[in-house]
Amino acid sequence: MLRCVAKRFDQYCPIAHALSLVGERWALLVVRELLRGPKRYTDLAAGLPGIGTNVLATRLRELEAAGLVTRRKLPPPAASTVYELTEYGAGLEEVLHSVARWGARSLGLPRHDEDLPPDWGMNAFRALFYPERARGLTAVWAIRIDDAAFTVRLDSGCLRTEMGAAADADASLATDMPTFYELASGDLPAADAIAAGRLEVDGDAGAAERFFEVFSFAPRIEAPADDARLGVRVMPSAAAG
């Protein structure tokens, strides 16, 4: 597959190649916005405060040339052009989620001058999701964090997120952003947050603990495993996040 790249590193390395496709400033944030679905140019500009119109146009042109983004004309009465990810571009979703979990460890709480859109949880819960911890789990949580409300659904381990708090939730969790950050980081056990009155749970008493076992940016710590066939003890990689 022939692709035009914005910058080459003259190295035969998949990381260098990936950075030649999405390593320019704002490129991955454009992809982040398009992971939520097709968007018009004006929608992208609104979702990326601080980006110049010339920079956005350049990034879109580069991503399109690289085969990550495509344009589509909507039928009447809309009759407007939208940008959307190709199958290749959509493959960046888990990459971005891994980067988000890693970055969240040192991100800290949002400052007053930092933009936090009302639908921030739609991407955040997908990024915090550890599928291997949710195998076979079916549950519905209504999550309220300050003034924002979301519904998180698991159906046999498959995730769906929605805006607003659903009435059919197995449990409703309400907290503030500082507490949510501590819970998601693994620094604050859910039981301690409940006991301190920092996390309110309405419904299934164990739902909060299950939620923060499945949705977290705490580093993955896997138990050592014995490989009986080889007679060796397999330890986690030191580079595992």
> Domain residues for 19?
14-91
Measured CA to CA, the distance from residue 201 to residue 194 in angstroms comes to 8
Same domain flag for 203 and 127: yes
In a domain, 136, yes or no: yes
In a domain, 98, yes or no: no
Same domain flag for 70 and 126: no
Same domain flag for 87 and 131: no
62 has a pLDDT exceeding 60: yes
Give the pLDDT score at 221: 56
Give the pLDDT score at 4: 52
pLDDT digits (tens, 9 = 90+) for 101-135: 999 999 988 887 787 888 899 989 999 998 888 98
Domain with residue 30: its CATH number is 1.10.10.10
Measured CA to CA, the distance from residue 152 to residue 130 in angstroms comes to 13
Task: Point out the domain boundary residue: 72, 91, 110.
Answer: 91
pLDDT digits (tens, 9 = 90+) for 32-58: 999 989 999 999 999 999 999 999 999
Total count of domains within the chain: 2
Give the pLDDT score at 211: 95
In a domain, 105, yes or no: no
In a domain, 116, yes or no: no
Task: Point out the domain boundary residue: 91, 109, 143.
Answer: 91
pTM of the model: 0.78
| Dihedral sign for Cα atoms in the order 50, 55, 60, 63 | negative
Residue 222 confidence class, pLDDT cut points 50, 70, 90: low
Give the pLDDT score at 160: 94
Same domain flag for 128 and 205: yes
Burial class of 99 by CB neighbour count within 10 A (0 to 12, 13 to 18, 19+)? middle
The DSSP call for residue 39 is B
219 has a pLDDT exceeding 90: no
231 has a pLDDT exceeding 70: no
In a domain, 227, yes or no: no
Same domain flag for 195 and 129: yes
Measured CA to CA, the distance from residue 124 to residue 216 in angstroms comes to 10
Give the pLDDT score at 6: 56
In a domain, 103, yes or no: no
Give the pLDDT score at 228: 41
Measured CA to CA, the distance from residue 182 to residue 187 in angstroms comes to 5
Give the pLDDT score at 79: 74
Give the pLDDT score at 227: 44
